[in-house]
């Protein structure tokens, strides 16, 4: 029996269309919505297999071309960091 598996880009697009969250770090079960709620989760990303690190460094959701943070969210996080707080 032939089983067709969708590729990671297709899965990502379907999840995005359904407003689902996306995993940023699978090993530590950290999603994009968790990061947006509390940026301190970023310190846990990459602490196991490390495969998520190159994507995070490029602000990309692993397996996609979608940004983790919008430009506005990055500016807000930068401003909050300068004030010593977490965004
Ligand atoms: Fe992030 Fe493995 S996917 S450490």
Model confidence pLDDT, tens digit, residues 59-77 = 999 988 999 999 998 888 7
Which secondary-structure segment (H or E) carries 25?
Answer: strand 23-25
67 Cβ below 6 A of ligand 1: no
**3-state class (DSSP) for residue 53:** helix
45 Cβ below 6 A of ligand 1: yes
48 Cβ below 6 A of ligand 1: yes
Mean pLDDT across the chain: 82
Residue 87 has pLDDT above 50, yes or no: no
Q: What is the pLDDT of residue 28?
A: 94
Q: Scanning the structure block, which residue is given the tokens 């996080």?
A: 77
Residue 33 has pLDDT above 70, yes or no: yes
Ligand 1 atom with the smallest distance to the CA of 53 is 1
């Amino acid at each position: 029996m032939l089983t067709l598996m969708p590729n990671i880009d297709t899965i990502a697009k379907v999840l995005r269309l359904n407003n689902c969250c996306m995993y940023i770090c699978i090993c530590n079960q950290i999603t994009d919505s968790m990061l947006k709620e509390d940026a301190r989760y970023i310190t846990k990303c990459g602490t196991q297999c490390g495969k998520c690190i190159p994507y995070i460094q490029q602000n990309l959701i692993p397996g996609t071309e979608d940004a983790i943070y919008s430009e506005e969210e990055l500016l807000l996080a930068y401003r909050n960091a300068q004030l010593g707080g977490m965004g």
